[in-house]
Structure 1
Amino acid sequence: MLDLTRLQALVAFARTGSVSAAADDLHYSQPTVSHHLKRLEAETGAVLFRRVGRNLVLTEEGRRLAERGEEILGLVSRAGNELASAVSLQTGHVRLAIFPSGIATLAPRIVTLMRERHPGLALEVREAEPPEAEGLLLADEVDLAITFTYPREQPSDAITAEVLGEDPLYLVTPPVRPDCLAGHSASARRPSREPLGSRIAIGRLADFADDDWMAGCERCRGYLVATCEDAGFEPHVQFASDDFVAIQALIAVGHGVSMLPGLALAAHRHPDVVLTPIEGAVRTLRLLSLGRPPLPPALEATSAVVREVVDEVVPKAVAAD
């Protein structure tokens, strides 16, 4: 393998035309440059120089190696500069996947802080439900992913998962008012129902066994059904949609009940629904990456911002009624 210092001496000699000028250019002594040139010639086994009178000139092989050497040194310099910029976070590109309700609540603050603190980093954000986000990470289509898991769920063993916090789940019900029309769901027809209080135990979800239920994504629906079964009944899922705005709109006019996460409700809360935290019902927020810590500087910087935003946003995501 070619020694870069000796290659640098050759390139300087080709550029300046003499050993003494090359020494001045490199801030070396003349004997040092002569030594590097002789060693380079010996190591390559090629005749790189010839004497013309008292002058040392390059052979054709020497000129060709000097040209390639200049290209090599340029690439090495560029690589060093790019690495230094990446380490100092002056440049870089980070691809981040976030689940839908996180896009609405976490992404705005994450993007804002990244642009303020690391303007040289280009942050690309895309929406992906947790299973899709894991696939994107394993396929090297994203660098980081903010996801969630329900109890008894775990990310793939091939992925590093950091717990960011818990997103509480709320029972979402219509307002209890005497002017609810007959023909609406059971929840709207029972204004005399016992008040729910500040929280509701999972077992008391059975009070809503006769109501129509509304569910979100497939995993969310699975957890809803499992939770209701723990309460002793199988919910009648009348409406399924990932659109938590539509779900709340239907609930607001008395067409059922649902269980929604705090981040979804922080993104949009209909003024005419009632929110009650469900004791013990949470989803765990996680930051997924590949490989063991420490991550590359750009990913570490992004991860730090994600942690800060989750700590800031999730505890005050939504206030119960």
Structure 2
Amino acid sequence: MFDSRHIRTFHAVVRAGTYSGAASALGYTQPAVTQQMKALERSVGSPLFIRVGRRMRLTEAGETLARHAEAILDSLSVAEEQVTAITRLHSGRVRVCAFPSASATLVPEALAHLAADHPGIRVKLLEDEPPDSLHRLARGECDVTLAFTYPGLRETVPDEVVEVPLLEDQLTVLMPVGHPQVRRRAVRLADFAGERWIAGCARCRTHFLHECAELGFAPDIAFTTDDGLVVQSLVAEGLGVALMPSLVLSFLRLDRVAGRALEPAVRRRISAYVLREHLRIPATALVVETIRAAAERRVGC
């Protein structure tokens, strides 16, 4: 394998025609140039120059290498520029996988700040619910995953995955604006025991059923959907009520749907997950920090 320093020196010798001329152009001593050319010839396994008078003439092996040297150096220069752009956050690509309510709230806010400060960073947004989203991280299908857990549920992640806590998201009951419970500031789950329900993703549904069982009733689940806007539309039409995270309040259809906090409060934990090694990649680390800052601003509101 060729040493790029030797290729640069070889290219300088070819252009100058002498070791002394190459040394002058590079700011080296002539013995240093001579040593590098001897090392390169050992790598090639053949002489690259023969001396003709005071100048150096290329051998057949030298002519072959000379035809490629400039292209090699140009490619190295382009590579150096691109790597420098990535490490200095002028460019980079990061794949973020998030669950729907985070995709509609935390992620857009974070990406707006990222675009303003680092327009060269490109983010590909994927959508999936936990635990599937965490499996995608482990399979290398994304670089950052946003996921949530409920009280009593401990997320099982490999040792190489780092969890970055973001916020605690309080659960709310969504109901039509004409519902009798709307006049209350907070509501109890047991007060809706006789209602028809619209349930969300598998993890949310499992937690919901557990909470209802603890209160001694089995909910009548009329519809299931992972789409928060569909849930709101069903609630707006009076087809049921739903237990939803407070993140959805920021894109609620306030004209026909009302949200009331659950009492006693129940909160889900939202975190970002990233492979430990990926935190050494500047663009990935920046995206994680930008999402964390967006969550912090939301908590402070």
Structure 1 residue identity aligned to 2:271: R
Structure 1 distance, partners of 2:257, 2:4, is 71
- 1:80-229 alignment runs, 5 A limit: 80-158=80-158, 159-175=161-177, 191=180, 197-200=184-187, 204-229=188-213
Deviates more, 1:283-292 or 1:161-170: 283-292
Aligned-pair distance for 1:170?
0.6
Structure 2 CA distance, aligned partners of 1:80 and 1:53?
38
The CA deviation at 1:295 is 3.0
> What CA distance in whole angstroms lies between the structure 2 residues aligned with 1:12 and 1:72?
13
Within 1, Cα distance between the matches of 2:6 and 2:258?
76
- State the match for 2:47 in structure 1: 47
* Aligned equivalents of 1:110, 1:258: Cα separation in 2: 28
Aligned residues: 298
1:100 Cα shift? Answer: 1.0
Q: Cα deviations across residues 46-73 of structure 1 (Å, max 9, x unaligned)?
A: 2222122343211111222344444444
CA distance in 1, matches of 2:294, 2:133: 19
Instruction: Please say if residues 252 and 270 of structure 1, whose CA atoms lie closer than 8 Å, have aligned partners that are also in contact.
Output: no
Q: Secondary structure at the match of 2:40?
A: helix
Whether the 8 Å contact between 1:48 and 1:59 is mirrored in structure 2 is yes
Decide whether aligned partners of structure 1 residues 269 and 6 sit closer, same or farther in structure 2, where only a CA change above 3 A counts. Answer: same
1:135-180 CA distances to partner (integer Å, 9 max, x unpaired)? 322222211111212223333422322211111101223345xxxx
Q: 1:306 is aligned with what amino acid?
A: I
Which residue of 2 is the match for residue 319 of structure 1? none
Residue in 2 that maps onto 1:285: 270
CA distance in 2, matches of 1:259, 1:315: 24
Aligned to 1:311: 296
Query: Is 2:258 the counterpart of 1:256?
Result: no
Q: Which of these residues, 192, 217, 233, is aligned with residue 233 of structure 1?
A: 217
Q: Which whole-Å CA distance do the structure 2 matches of 1:171 and 1:315 have between them?
A: 23
Check whether the contact 1:101–1:267 (CA below 8 A) recurs between aligned residues. Answer: no
In the alignment, structure 2 segments of 5+ residues that lack a partner are none
Q: Distance in 2 between matches of 1:5 and 1:210?
A: 78
What is the SS of the residue equivalent to 1:130?
coil
Q: Is residue 26 of structure 1 aligned with residue 26 of structure 2?
A: yes
Instruction: Note closer, same or farther for the CA distance 1:43–1:293 as it changes in structure 2 (3 Å cut).
Output: closer
Offset, 1:229: 1.0
* Residues 1:31 and 1:261: Cα distance change in structure 2 (over 3 Å): same
Letter in 2 for 1:198: R
Q: Which AA in structure 1 matches 2:166?
A: L
Change (3 A) 1:35 1:154: same
User: Normalising to structure 2: TM-score of the pair?
Assistant: 0.87
Between 1:209-218 and 1:238-247, the stretch displaced more is 238-247
Query: Compared with structure 1, are the counterparts of its residues 230 and 22 closer, same or farther at alpha carbon in structure 2 (3 Å cutoff)?
Result: same
Structure number with bigger Rg: 1
Q: What secondary structure sits across from 2:123 in the alignment?
A: strand
TM-aligned CA deviation for residue 315 of structure 1:
5.4
2:255 is aligned with 1:271: yes
- CA offsets per residue over residues 286-318 of structure 1, 9 Å max, x none? 1011125743110111111101111223554xx
How does the TM-score come out when normalised to structure 1?
0.82
Asked whether the equivalents of residues 249 and 270 of structure 1 are also in contact (C-alpha less than 8 Å), the reply is: no
Q: 1:167 to 1:57 in 2, by over 3 A?
A: same
- Structure 1 gaps, min length 5: 177-187, 317-321
**Percent identity of equivalent pairs:** 34
1:276 partner SS: strand
Question: Which residue identity lines up with residue 146 of structure 1 in the other structure?
Answer: L
CA distance change for structure 1 residues 44 and 275 in 2, over 3 Å: closer, same or farther?
A: closer
Query: Contact (CA 8 Å) 2:90, 2:119: kept in 1 or not?
Result: yes
CA contact (8 A) 1:129 1:147 kept: yes
Does the 8 Å CA contact 2:278/2:284 hold for their aligned counterparts? no
